[in-house]
A and B are shown apart, each in its own frame.
Chain A
Amino acid sequence: DAGVIQSPRHEVTEMGQEVTLRCKPISGHNSLFWYRQTMMRGLELLIYFNNNVPIDDSGMPEDRFSAKMPNASFSTLKIQPSEPRDSAVYFCASSLSSGNTGELFFGEGSRLTVL
């Protein structure tokens, strides 16, 4: 079975450019999470979707960040305009559980470098 699929795996861009990260969750999973991982701050939850609806976006750093989940099999995280401090690994994770946290299945991550 395919796991969580993220693209691109690596992205290098210049400050001010728009960045779009993509995620395909595991089929049948109804919860989707976007995380950011940095050395300084560790793993941070950016946004949580349940049944394609954003439930909690309080972790989104600022208005430059936006996320969508137009259907059960696709989600995007967009940064516009990007800044060097956005450099991090961005993970998408999906889960069968909603409400109570179950096992999270993570993608391989998208490593973003903003110059």
Chain B
Amino acid sequence: AQKVTQAQTEISVVEKEDVTLDCVYETRDTTYYLFWYKQPPSGELVFLIRRNSFDEQNEISGRYSWNFQKSTSSFNFTITASQVVDSAVYFCALSEWGNYQLIWGAGTKLIIKP
């Protein structure tokens, strides 16, 4: 069965701190995709990254970085030097090869205080 667990319901940090959002997934497939989406207070969901199961290289995009570890079935997201504009709900999601369905985590609400 497929499952995505985001154990952190809410995280609150002070601006400029680094913060890591955890994502643990379950799947029986060997080929799958992992995603992170951001939902700011305005409401729309914004795609951040897609990673396939054969690519375990860490990804860095500006202040954002992602750590994919198949050994622990985790796909964690780190924001370095957080800013107030990073405040949002962040969702991790999983899809298996050939399947349009996204399995969503419950989301982590990130609050960045000035």
Interface of A toward B, CB cutoff 8 Å: 31, 33, 42-43, 45, 48, 50, 55-56, 89, 91, 93, 98-109, 111
Q: Contact size class for B?
A: 20 to 34
Known A42-B104, A42-B107, A43-B104; judge A104-B33 contact (CB<8 A).
no
Sample of 15 A–B contacts (CB below 8 Å): A42-B106, A43-B91, A48-B100, A89-B43, A100-B33, A100-B95, A100-B97, A100-B99, A101-B99, A103-B47, A103-B50, A104-B45, A108-B42, A109-B44, A111-B43
Q: Looking at the assembled complex, report how far the CB atom of A12 sits from the nearest CB atom of chain B, in whole angstroms.
A: 16
Having A43-B104, A93-B45, A101-B99, one finds 14 other A-B pairs with CB under 8 Å, namely A42-B106, A42-B107, A45-B101, A89-B43, A98-B100, A99-B98, A101-B95, A101-B100, A101-B102, A103-B50, A104-B102, A108-B43, A109-B43, A109-B44
